[in-house]
Amino acid sequence: MNSYDSDRIAEILLLAGHIKTSLPEDADIVVINTCNVREKAQEKLFSDLGRIALIKAKAAEKGRSVIILVVGCVAQALGKEIFARADCVDIVLGPQAYQNIQKSIEEVISQKQCPEVKMQKNFIVDTTMSAEDKFKLLPRNRTLVKLPSAFISIQEGCDKFCTYCSVPYTRGREYSRPTSEIISEANQLVSSGAREIFLLGQNVSAYNGKYSSSAVCSFTELLFLISSIKGVERIRYTTSHPCDITTELMKAHKEISSLMPFIHLPAQSGSDIILKKMNRGYSRSQYIKIINEFRKILPNIAFSSDFIVGFPGETETDFEATCALVDEVSYAQAYSFKYSPRPQTPSSKWDQIDEQTKIRRLAVLQEIINKHQLHYNQSMEGKELLVLIEKEGRYENQVIGKTEYMQSVHLSAPKNFIGKVFPVKISRGFQNSLSGKLVG
């Protein structure tokens, strides 16, 4: 989602006449988009700001002023505290306020030209929380399109309030974009060359956007609408919450041929006690039931997940239940994180697990996840898979594509095959990728 937001920010700035530079030393405006989900991501902001402050100071010595903006979820969570920790920053904009970026920049420029305020620095903070207003004001035309796989945010914010998560406090309440807006964005992306539409949201399966003045559209209905757009060869989505998976959605995976048989379905933990403390709203057996029902409808479907280790109160038995869940589901891939206490959340106030235990549990879990991933990738050897060629590889005549199951495949093919789907015979399965040959 941050990647989508960064593209939209760049689109606004390009439309206002700014140009992009690849070197921060050349920039008059630096925008840092931020993530607040874990503390590590937040700390990265301040180390980046340290580096950029030096660039700003050097530019000032030459009489050139640089405007620095911090955007996104850390901006929302810390607000004006950011100025106290990094006084090089001029503007702080939350994730639902970046449509105002150009206006804020113009305001800072006019302040800089005004001698009375030169002495006393004025900061701009906008942490408005309305996703609806943001989408209304974003440019209609998508000009920066990552090809051939393009993101569209369809839903933002979250009402689930998992006890570890900062998203409801930074992105705000759940908001679904109107259906017509999404369809028009998808049409535009396809006419610019996108072949895969990747739908994004904190909880896409809860999508219920306005379809007309009296009707709403469910997530499954939206998938059908997108699949009917000529030129859409693949549809993916992330993230879906287990509680909002419906039988209709499961069936849609069989009925819509362009809907990829790969689902990111975060479990977070395999222990019922921890799932309850996390306020996830499902038990281990309910989660497994969803996986089994999906597999009954579509036997070849693959899953990925997110896991948190070291949640407050997690015992060895709870942790072992998580490892056992990974073995039981046998994920094609999975992300795992050490629990990071986020200041706004309830669980940050509970008794914490020590860092060494978290480190050890993460290493153990990742080994199990990796074992399943390698096994899954190796099970593809000798198979013929459909691969969307996405980009050039590192070597001459090499390209990289994606299977329907999200695996990266390295193969030899001419550059003009990028953006098209080809059958590829898989020769080797590695830890993080596959290699293969074009068929025919």
The site for ligand SAH (CB under 6 A) is made up of 37-38, 164-165, 167, 202-203, 239, 241, 266, 268, 306, 308, 337, 339-340, 342
Give yes or no for residue 200 binding ligand SF4 (CB under 6 A): no
Closest distance of CB 364 from ligand SF4, Å: 23
Q: CA 166 to CA 293: how far, in whole Å? A: 31
Q: Sign (positive/negative) of CA torsion 409, 411, 415, 420?
A: negative
Task: Decide: helix, strand or coil at residue 141.
Answer: coil
Residue with Cβ nearer ligand SAH (99 or 347):
347
The Cα angle at residue 419 between residues 414 and 420, in degrees rounded to 5 = 80
Closest distance of CB 278 from ligand SF4, Å: 8
Residue with Cβ nearer ligand SF4 (168 or 436):
168
Q: Which amino acid is at 94?
A: G
The Cα angle at residue 147 between residues 32 and 13, in degrees rounded to 5 = 35
Closest distance of CB 18 from ligand SAH, Å: 31
Contact indicator for 366, 336 with CB cutoff of 8 Å: yes
Give yes or no for residue 168 binding ligand SF4 (CB under 6 A): yes
Q: CA 335 to CA 181: how far, in whole Å? A: 32
Residue with Cβ nearer ligand SF4 (160 or 372):
160
Residue with Cβ nearer ligand SF4 (78 or 162):
162
Residue with Cβ nearer ligand SF4 (109 or 243):
243
Give yes or no for residue 158 binding ligand SF4 (CB under 6 A): yes
Give yes or no for residue 161 binding ligand SF4 (CB under 6 A): yes
Task: Decide: helix, strand or coil at residue 199.
Answer: strand
Task: Decide: helix, strand or coil at residue 307.
Answer: strand
Say how many C-beta atoms besides its own lie within 10 A of residue 203's C-beta. 21
Q: CA 181 to CA 263: how far, in whole Å? A: 25
Give yes or no for residue 387 binding ligand SF4 (CB under 6 A): no
Residue 187's Cβ-side half-sphere holds a number of Cα atoms within 13 Å equal to 10
Closest distance of CB 95 from ligand SF4, Å: 13
Closest distance of CB 379 from ligand SAH, Å: 26
Which one of ligand SAH, ligand SF4, none interacts with residue 371, CB within 5 to 8 A by kind? Answer: none
Task: Decide: helix, strand or coil at residue 398.
Answer: strand
| CA proximity to 91, closest of 29, 35, 1 | 29
Closest distance of CB 13 from ligand SF4, Å: 28
Q: Convert residues 110-129 into a mask of x (bound to ligand SF4 by CB under 6 A) and - (unbound).
A: --------------------
Which one of ligand SF4, ligand SAH, none interacts with residue 277, CB within 5 to 8 A by kind? Answer: none
Which one of ligand SAH, ligand SF4, none interacts with residue 161, CB within 5 to 8 A by kind? Answer: ligand SF4
Closest distance of CB 361 from ligand SAH, Å: 12
Which one of ligand SF4, ligand SAH, none interacts with residue 77, CB within 5 to 8 A by kind? Answer: none
Give yes or no for residue 267 binding ligand SF4 (CB under 6 A): no
Q: Give me the helices (H) in 298-430, please.
A: 316-329, 355-378
Q: Which of 67, 70, 89, 162 binds ligand SF4 (CB under 6 A)?
A: 162
Q: List the interface residues with ligand SF4, window 232-261 (CB under 6 A).
A: 241
Q: CA 21 to CA 23: how far, in whole Å? A: 6
Task: Decide: helix, strand or coil at residue 14.
Answer: helix
Beta bridge partners of 30: 68
Closest distance of CB 267 from ligand SAH, Å: 9
Residue with Cβ nearer ligand SAH (39 or 87):
39
Q: CA distances (Å), 142 to each of 3, 181, 191, 307, in order?
A: 14, 12, 11, 34
Say how many C-beta atoms besides its own lie within 10 A of residue 224's C-beta. 15
**Contact residues for ligand SF4 (CB under 6 A)?**
158, 160-162, 165, 167-168, 202-203, 241
